């Protein structure tokens, strides 16, 4: 029995691997493979969790390449055997996704977290390549802007920050305010001392003037008597 594209048949599961299941094709010695991505419309990571050897399933031929037959179960109603993708739209979409997002499972990608012993040709500094340099041909240099989160943290609510500073200044005295208070106290003490000195000097002067006037008056009386 020859197999053609888009043929639908009931086949028996010959063997199951984690990547897919091999299905016996009626009247044909060759087997077809249902990849785990074609088992169900729901993503399947391990085909052994869905199928077992000897299961009877509906399958559709979706590809034939170099003698290999690709089958799909998700494109066929497993209850009635009805074709769920008669125009091949789903097959085309799956193929496009496979080309755009190839399977990289198991492959390790090499990532360089830092660049060592490199010197930029443009600016002459080390640590980066010329293609990553932010110095323009005109000689101007540009800095990298911080992330949005950092900008928001540093610039958000400036009114609140000012108000909080004002509140803190009112509640908790700062060093500058304490120094001002100390200076004021010193000035007041100096003024008080000056006043005291002035009062003491003026009182002593007044006392001495009184004594001298008394002496003068006594001398004057004595002269009159004589």
What is the residue extent of each domain of the chain? 8-100
Residues 6+ positions from 124 with CB-CB distance below 8 Å: none
Contact 54, 12 (CB under 8 A): yes
Full pLDDT tens readout for the chain, 226 residues: 678 989 999 999 999 999 999 999 998 889 999 999 999 999 999 999 999 999 999 999 999 988 899 999 999 999 999 999 999 898 888 888 878 765 555 454 444 444 445 667 677 776 666 666 665 555 555 555 555 555 455 455 544 544 444 444 444 556 677 777 778 888 888 887 777 776 666 666 666 666 666 676 666 666 655 5
C-beta separation of 55 from 12 below 8 A: yes
Top CATH class of 8-100 equals mainly beta
Tokens 């109603």 correspond to: 77
**Sign of torsion, CA 39 40 44 50?**
negative
pTM: 0.45
């Amino acid at each position: 029995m020859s197999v053609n594209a888009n043929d639908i048949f009931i086949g028996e599961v010959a063997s199951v691997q984690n990547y897919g299941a091999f299905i016996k094709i009626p009247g044909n010695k060759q087997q077809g493979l249902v990849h785990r991505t074609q088992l169900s419309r729901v993503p399947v990571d391990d085909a052994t969790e869905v199928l077992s050897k000897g299961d009877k399933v509906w399958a559709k031929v979706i590809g034939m390449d170099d003698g290999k037959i690709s089958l799909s179960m998700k494109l066929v109603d497993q209850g009635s055997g009805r074709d769920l993708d008669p125009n091949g739209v789903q097959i085309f979409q799956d193929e496009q996704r496979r080309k755009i997002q190839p399977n990289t499972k198991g492959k390790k990608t090499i990532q360089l977290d830092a660049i060592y012993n490199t010197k930029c040709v443009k600016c002459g500094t080390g640590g980066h390549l010329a293609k990553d340099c932010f110095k323009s041909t005109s000689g101007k240099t540009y800095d990298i802007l911080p992330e949005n989160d950092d900008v928001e943290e540093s610039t958000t609510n400036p009114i609140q920050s000012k108000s909080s500073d004002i509140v803190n200044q009112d509640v908790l005295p700062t060093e500058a305010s304490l120094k001002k208070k100390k200076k004021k106290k010193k000035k007041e003490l100096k003024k008080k001392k000056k006043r005291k000195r002035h009062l003491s000097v003026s009182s002593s002067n007044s006392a001495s003037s009184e004594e001298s006037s008394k002496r003068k008056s006594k001398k004057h009386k004595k002269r009159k008597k004589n």
